[in-house]
Structure 1
Amino acid sequence: MRRLATLLLFIFIASNSYSQKKKLDTLPKPKWKVNGRLAFVFNQSSFSNWASGGQNTVAGNININYDFNYKKNNVNWDTRLLSGYGLSHISEKGYRKTNDRFELNSLLGIKTTTYWFLSFIANFKTQYTKGFDYSKEPKLLVSEFLSPAYLTFGPGMLWKKSDDLNLNIAPATARYTFVNEFFTKDSGKFGVDEGKTLAFGLGFNLSGYYKFALMKNIEMENILTMYTDYLANVGNVDLDYQTNLRFTVNKHIKMHMTFHTIIDDNSSSKIQFRQLFGLGMNYSFHEKVTY
């Protein structure tokens, strides 16, 4: 009798699990997922008659990120907008730019197997305002709006496990670099020949995205782009790698750390590195799911 009861219980649990799985499988999958997030980080330090010295500093950094994800049948279209601007004011030195970024990524995929897609990638990035090298005297203008600006696009193959893990391989990627005449009137810069304002490249592009939970309330996001040009400096690889660590305090307050590395001989002969740390407000101003 006991064995019969155990068998009936097992059959009940198995059938119930199957029916639950079937219900989940029949749930409609979202066609559009939209998520807009705003993050603001503020830092301030003040000194008055401080024996060991110090400089009064006020700094603020604002980031607006927008994600648009579309899925229907075999079509997968992901678009991400990354935008940020930051300023600091140091006593006796004035304002300094700490962050300046506008980047738009779009990736269209047509599913061929479970995780593989035929893809087309497009990327545009630039900055909003003028940037200066303050180590020079007088300060030296090194960038401004749309100078430089990069437009990259091309077909490829996408491997996508989820919205948080994907890798795109584009072996025939076109890349346009735009600059103002000011930066090339004396000598070429950003890979653009002297006296010109546009450079064209054709090369291999590898881009990847991976986001996961390190532990409870700690999220790590990795964004990678690698590019090598077939037409110039063959074998030389440009690298853009960014890591974001987010520590959740509550729904609207998070601690944020960013480590950003760029290797690009056309813009600088040295490795570029940017680090940001702060505690600030996070707000999702647009969240929408459409079936």
Structure 2
Amino acid sequence: MTRFVVICCFIVSFKIFAQPDSLFFKQSTIPLTPIWSQDNKFGVDINQVAFVNWNSGGVNSIAALFALKSALKYQYRHFIWDNLLDARYGVNSQQNQELRKTDDLLEVRSSLGYRKNKFTNWYYSARFSFKTQFAKGFNYPNTDNVISKFMAPGYLFVGGGVEYGKNIEKLSTYFSPLTLKSTFVLDEDLSNAGSFGVAPAEYDNDGNLIAEGERVRKELGILLTSAYEAELFQNIAIRNLVSFYTDYINDFGNIDVDWELVFDFKVNSFVRATLGSHLKYDNDVKLLVEVEDPENDELEFAEEGARVQWKQILGVGVIVGF
């Protein structure tokens, strides 16, 4: 399954990248004085459906997605430093149901790059990224058992390698032979259960706790990423980010995949529509399914194998730059 996902990502990315030749042949400029640039955007997407005496039936609902993205960039001669803060939180409310979370992300990324001269497109590069979420997550409609929360999980990547990109702001490929991946599960119940790949707690035959579950799992492996941004047509832009990671020690060759593809449709300076797809596969993240316990007739969670995760987003909203 993992190899199939990787092949699909490569095929689609190749078809996307095989578009404008200007990305490959555009001559980059070299700033002779230090340049700082910042771009901040805040957006709100709202979707609402209401029914009054509607003979086909339906459920009243309202959904909102709040997003903040802040990019800070520094350039001087052959040195570049890119920083990004990406935060999203979405909720949905339907008639006769509690408020439910639909999206939740807090991510920080930083990248350093240096090249010897203006004639080369290869950069010595170092990268840092951190990702977690704001609020508790549930396997709805069950809201009694928390399956995720802030820093459970949290992911930290730190590594160094080389990056290729002639027009590096729009199209680049990064390869790191040494990347440290740390998975944080700082919730006691989730860490004791061995969620997100950490070592679970140990119990004796009477169910007494002998050793608590692991709070941090560390891996050292290979990271390959590719990023692409372009305007396909007037007022239609695309963003594609795909990454592959495999650990040297634990299941080398078992590849974690993270692929995000987003189309932005610009209506005017403030209104835009977004169509996005996010596909993930991580062998350490197991699927939780509800099963009935025959002894007490209650629903419990059972852990199955890792599965491909997929999320699709379609929204229309307002975006403001500041």
* TM-score, normalized by the shorter chain, greater than 0.5: yes
Deviations along 1:82-130, one digit per CA (max 9) or x if unpaired, are 1100001011111110110011111101113521111111110000000
Matches within 5 A, 1:226-245: 226-245=244-263
Deviations along 1:64-95, one digit per CA (max 9) or x if unpaired, are 11111211012111111111000010111111
The residue that corresponds to 1:37 in the other structure is: 41
Matches within 5 A, 1:152-171: 152-162=157-167, 163-171=169-177
CA distance in 2, matches of 1:61, 1:273: 18
- C-alpha contact 2:33 2:77 (8 A) present in aligned 1: no
CA change 1:184–1:27 in 2 (3 A) is closer
CA change 1:27–1:87 in 2 (3 A) is closer
The residue that corresponds to 2:309 in the other structure is: 272
Deviations along 1:163-183, one digit per CA (max 9) or x if unpaired, are 111111111101111102211
The residue that corresponds to 1:248 in the other structure is: 266
TM-score (norm 2): 0.77
CA distance in 2, matches of 1:165, 1:29: 24
- The answer to whether structure 1 residue 188 and structure 2 residue 194 are counterparts is yes
- The answer to whether structure 1 residue 103 and structure 2 residue 110 are counterparts is no
The residue that corresponds to 2:64 in the other structure is: 60
* SS of equivalent to 2:151: coil
Residue range with higher mean Cα deviation, 213-222 or 112-121:
112-121
- The answer to whether structure 1 residue 197 and structure 2 residue 215 are counterparts is yes
* Percent of aligned pairs with the same amino acid: 32
CA distance in 2, matches of 1:197, 1:26: 45
CA distance in 2, matches of 1:87, 1:155: 37
* SS of equivalent to 2:189: helix
The residue that corresponds to 2:180 in the other structure is: 174
The residue that corresponds to 1:128 in the other structure is: 134
CA distance in 2, matches of 1:272, 1:30: 42
- C-alpha contact 1:181 1:196 (8 A) present in aligned 2: no
* SS of equivalent to 1:94: coil
The residue that corresponds to 2:278 in the other structure is: 260
1:211 to 214, 229, 239: 229
TM-score (norm 1): 0.85
CA distance in 2, matches of 1:84, 1:26: 34
How much does 1:49 deviate? 2.0
- The answer to whether structure 1 residue 73 and structure 2 residue 77 are counterparts is yes
- C-alpha contact 1:171 1:204 (8 A) present in aligned 2: yes
Q: Which amino acid aligns with 1:142?
A: I
CA distance in 1, matches of 2:259, 2:114: 26
2:321 to 275, 284, 287: 284
How much does 1:242 deviate? 0.7
Residue range with higher mean Cα deviation, 110-119 or 226-235:
110-119
Deviations along 1:222-243, one digit per CA (max 9) or x if unpaired, are 1112111112121111111111
CA distance in 1, matches of 2:91, 2:30: 50
Runs (5+) with no aligned partner, structure 2: 1-28, 201-212, 287-305
Runs (5+) with no aligned partner, structure 1: 1-24, 286-291
- C-alpha contact 2:79 2:113 (8 A) present in aligned 1: yes
- C-alpha contact 1:133 1:139 (8 A) present in aligned 2: no
Q: Which amino acid aligns with 1:278?
A: G
How much does 1:158 deviate? 1.0
